[in-house]
Structures are given as structure tokens and as C-alpha cells.
Amino acid sequence: MRLSAIFTALTGLVVAGGSVYVARDYIQFDAQSANVEAESEMVSVVVASRDISFGEEIEPGALTTIDWPRGAVPVGVFTDYDDLIAEASMPSRRARRAITQGELILNSKVSDFGEKVTIVQTLGADHRAMAIEVDAETAVGGFVTPGDRVDVVMTTGEKRDMHAVTILQNIRVIGVDQESDEQTDQPVVARTVTVAVTPDQVQRLALAQRAGRLSLTLRSIDDTEDKTLTMTRLNDLLIDEPVVAQDIKEPVRKTIVRVRRGTEVTESIIN
């Protein structure tokens, strides 16, 4: 009986050990299968390996690839360099807008092969590009750069009739002189600033440039709402000094009494 019990116990241990071993192999195989399946759900997509400026040619040195979940791949993404890089006999693609390092290269961000890239392609729907004459004083000392948003203030009138009014608010700057790269952060004293405006705003801006002097005010990044503003007149800024009344002495009234005696007249003054 004792040998039978010992044999039964040993047999149980062997069976249990074999079961653990088989289960471990099954779990490892299942995990490997899961990893292979997960890897098959990833796709290689093309991104920028460095910052690419507006209008710059798309070259191999500016690109790299990263793995991206297949189910989350955006529309228009590139998965092959050959779709982006021009052959030796072909003109290049160019960036239609500034692309930052690590950003996905989408079809909407690059031109076709040989397509001309101009500032017009940065305009939104129903917008026009219009230039405003400026100098260091009216363009915030040269700190206005492409991509900033500004308000436009018109100053007109003469002497005490002078007044200022904000004619446009939250207007996007798309160019400073001939510079349209939104990645630039170097201040420059420009002669013209090009803004994106609607057709109605174009007319208002054209009249304002003829009627008075235009100044730009730079908005903060978070300030995107229009404000209700009223016209400010020069008289609103001037404070008239009160006239100090001076002591005015009233004239002393005198009474003159004349006495006539025949041909002789005498006068007496009564205060």
C-alpha cells in the first residue's frame, strides 16, 4: 500500500509538472501571436525629420518614417517616399505651409510635382490678400510677423477734430514685405504688411488707407474675440483747465451835488 501511494503521488507530481510546462509554452505562444498581430496593425508613415518652411522643396533629408496605428491613420498621409520625392527628371513637390519636425506629411500640406507655391495658397475660403503701408511706429516696432493676428486702427482729422477708430479686428497677417514664413521670429521694420481679409473688409481697408493713417495693434495668441469699441476723439483726451475767477472790485459810486447861486455854481461830492 505504501509503494502504491508513493507511486500515485509521484505520478500526480509528474502530471502536474507537465501541465505547468505545457501551459507556459501555450501562454508564451499566445503572447508571441498577440505581438505579431499587434505589429501587423501598425503602418509606417512619413513625417518631417526637421522643420520645413513654406515653399521649400520636399527632399529626402527632411523626411523620416514612424510606426502609426493602422486604424488611426489620417486621410492623405504618405506611407512611401516615392510618392513624395521627385525623380531626377521631375520637378519637386513643395510645402504649401510650414511643417514642424515630427509632423505628419499630408497631401494637403504639399504641392503636386512642379506646382507653383505662392502666398495665395495660404488664404482661406472667401478671403483676399491686401497690403497695408506701415513703418516702425505703425507696425508695432517691427514685431509683427506672418501668422500673427492684429487689429487695424485708423487715425484721421485735424487738430481738435482728430479721432481714432478700430476698423478691423482679429485679422491674420500672411506676409511682411516679401516674407511669408510663419516660422520666422525675427523682428523687421517693414514697409508693407499683407493681411487676409474678406471682400467687404477689403473695401473698408481701401477707404481707410485714403482717409487717414493706419496702425496695427498686435493681439495675444489667446485673444480671438472681437470687442465692442467706440471712436475716441482728441477732445476726449484733453482736459480743459478751469478758469480761476479773479476778484473784481466794483466801481465806487459817487454822488455829485451842484448848487447854483445866480451865476455861481458849486459842487459837493457825497460818497
pLDDT tens per residue, the chain (271 residues)?
Answer: 455 666 565 566 555 555 555 556 555 655 555 555 545 589 999 999 999 888 888 998 999 999 999 888 889 999 888 889 888 888 989 888 888 899 999 998 898 888 888 777 778 888 999 999 998 888 888 888 888 999 999 999 888 789 999 999 999 998 888 777 776 767 778 889 999 999 999 999 999 999 999 999 999 888 888 888 888 888 877 765 555 555 556 666 666 656 666 666 666 666 5
Q: Which three cell numbers stand for residue 167?
A: 476698423
| Residues 112, 132: Cα–Cα separation, whole Å | 32
Q: Which three cell numbers stand for residue 251?
A: 466801481
Whether 79 and 46 have beta carbons less than 8 Å apart is answered as yes
Beta bridge partners of 147: none
Q: What are the extents of the domains in the chain?
A: 42-104, 123-237
The vertex-215 CA angle with 214 and 221, nearest 5°, equals 135
Q: How far is CA 91 from CA 46, 205, 216, in A?
A: 20, 39, 40
The single-letter code of the amino acid at 246 is Q
Residue 105: CB partners within 8 Å, gap ≥ 6?
Answer: 46, 47, 48, 58, 63, 77, 78, 84, 99
The vertex-123 CA angle with 122 and 126, nearest 5°, equals 160
Q: How far is CA 15 from CA 9, 26, 50, 154, in A?
A: 10, 16, 60, 93
Whether 1 and 31 have beta carbons less than 8 Å apart is answered as no
Check: pTM over 0.85? Answer yes or no.
Answer: no
Radius of gyration of the chain (CA): 43
| Residues 107, 96: Cα–Cα separation, whole Å | 10
Fold of 42-104: Type Iii Antifreeze Protein Isoform Hplc 12 (3.90.1210)
Whether 135 and 141 have beta carbons less than 8 Å apart is answered as no
